[in-house]
Amino acid sequence: MNTSRSLVSLEDLGDDDLERIVRRGVAHSAGTSTHRSPLAGQVVGIYFAMTSTRTRTAFWSSALRLGAHVINFGPGDLQTNTGEASSDTGRVLAGMLDLLVARTGRPTGELAQWAGRHRMPVVNAMTEEEHPTQALADLTTLRRQFGSLDGLRVLYVGEGNNTAAALALALGRTAGVELELRTPPGYGLDPAVLATARDHALRHGAKITERHTMDPAPRGFHVVYTTRWQTTGTSKPDADWRRIFQPFQVTRALWQGSPDAVFMHDLPAHRGEEVTADVLDGPMSIAFQQAENKMHSAMAVLEWCRGAVVEDGAANEKASLW
């Protein structure tokens, strides 16, 4: 029976799937996982139409560690650049690849169309609307840092971009978690995404709020998270957007109300813009552990896509992840 499945959006995951992938990512990160090269003999395509350091390397190295052969496609390699219909490209790739990891920077619908080719599972490595594998790496990191996510209070500061969307969709399905988003006016989460995340939160006993000001000063958080202001491949509608974003810079002042909080960033970071250097490079920062966990989480995603997730080591802990 073909157990292959795609991960185009976090909405493709059932609650058990989400928990299983995060647990497996934790096991890989902790060094307690075992596997027998579940992708041996398979061919994984890595297609990035946009720049990437962490996500591309994470999936490429993960595919190799799981025994696969890898074909890499750069932004100028596919015939979509010469006018071939995207649907035709997806159909051709599906006949030759066992799995495709793709970052298009375009609407998610294109990848959803490719994922309809059932012979080839597709992993969304970032589209305009959502960055689902980033959220899975984030939950893996939080689990490794805190042991349990129950009762965790997460403060997200910055634009309501595709990373923020994925974080909200994931944490909304995590019981006992509170996510507060502080986003600049006019740069919040897409209302449909926020509504979906809040629906999840209502069902799972989580809480999601969004404010468009840094007043009152946030207090009592376990995690402070930001992303860079100028997301890859995007532009801002306001010519003076830096002025609008400036009050949302992450500085040491945020730790006055949350002295024990850790700092997370999906990277790359621009010191002096969305975050000051003393935060990113300071003792509170786990941003680079977070980056490494992209590889461990990517291994879990690839295993899940091929129906090869094994519950072992940290994955069998009795304590609830949620």
Q: What does the DSSP assignment read for 101-139?
A: EEE-SS-HHHHHHHHTSTTS-EEES--SS--HHHHHHHH
Distances from the Cα of 151 to the Cαs of 5, 37, 196, in angstroms? 32, 36, 21
Residue appearing with tokens 């209502």: 202
Residue 252's CATH number: 3.40.50.1370
For residue 121, the model assigns a pLDDT of 95
Assess whether 285 and 298 both reside in one domain.
no
Assess whether 159 and 174 both reside in one domain.
yes
Q: How much is the pTM?
A: 0.93
Q: Residues near 133 by Cβ (< 8 Å), separated by ≥ 6?
A: 7, 55, 59, 123, 124, 125, 126, 294, 297, 298, 301
Name the token pair of 289.
């552990």
Assess whether 145 and 254 both reside in one domain.
yes
* Position 73 in a domain: yes
Assess whether 233 and 109 both reside in one domain.
no
For residue 308, the model assigns a pLDDT of 77
Could you tell me which of 213, 103, 224 has the C-alpha nearest to residue 155? 224
Q: How would you write the pLDDT of the chain (322 residues) with one tens digit per residue?
A: 457 799 999 999 999 999 999 999 999 999 999 888 999 999 999 999 999 999 999 999 999 999 999 999 999 999 988 999 998 999 999 999 999 999 988 889 989 989 987 689 999 999 999 999 999 999 999 999 999 999 999 999 999 999 999 999 999 999 999 999 999 999 999 999 999 999 999 999 999 999 999 999 999 999 999 999 987 667 899 999 999 999 999 999 999 999 999 999 999 999 999 999 999 999 999 999 999 999 999 999 999 999 876 555 444 443 344 4
Q: What is the C-alpha R_g of the chain?
A: 19
Contact criterion met (CB below 8 Å) for 107 and 314: no
Calculated CA dihedral for residues 183, 185, 189, 195, nearest 10 degrees: 110
Assess whether 73 and 57 both reside in one domain.
yes
Assess whether 196 and 91 both reside in one domain.
no
The number of distinct structural domains making up the chain is 2
Assess whether 164 and 221 both reside in one domain.
yes
- Its domain, for residue 198, covers 132-289
Assess whether 78 and 123 both reside in one domain.
yes
* Position 305 in a domain: yes
Assess whether 306 and 239 both reside in one domain.
no
Contact criterion met (CB below 8 Å) for 171 and 221: no
For residue 311, the model assigns a pLDDT of 56
Assess whether 121 and 144 both reside in one domain.
no
Contact criterion met (CB below 8 Å) for 24 and 303: yes
Assess whether 140 and 280 both reside in one domain.
yes
Assess whether 156 and 273 both reside in one domain.
yes
Distances from the Cα of 100 to the Cαs of 72, 129, 298, in angstroms? 10, 19, 13
* Position 321 in a domain: no
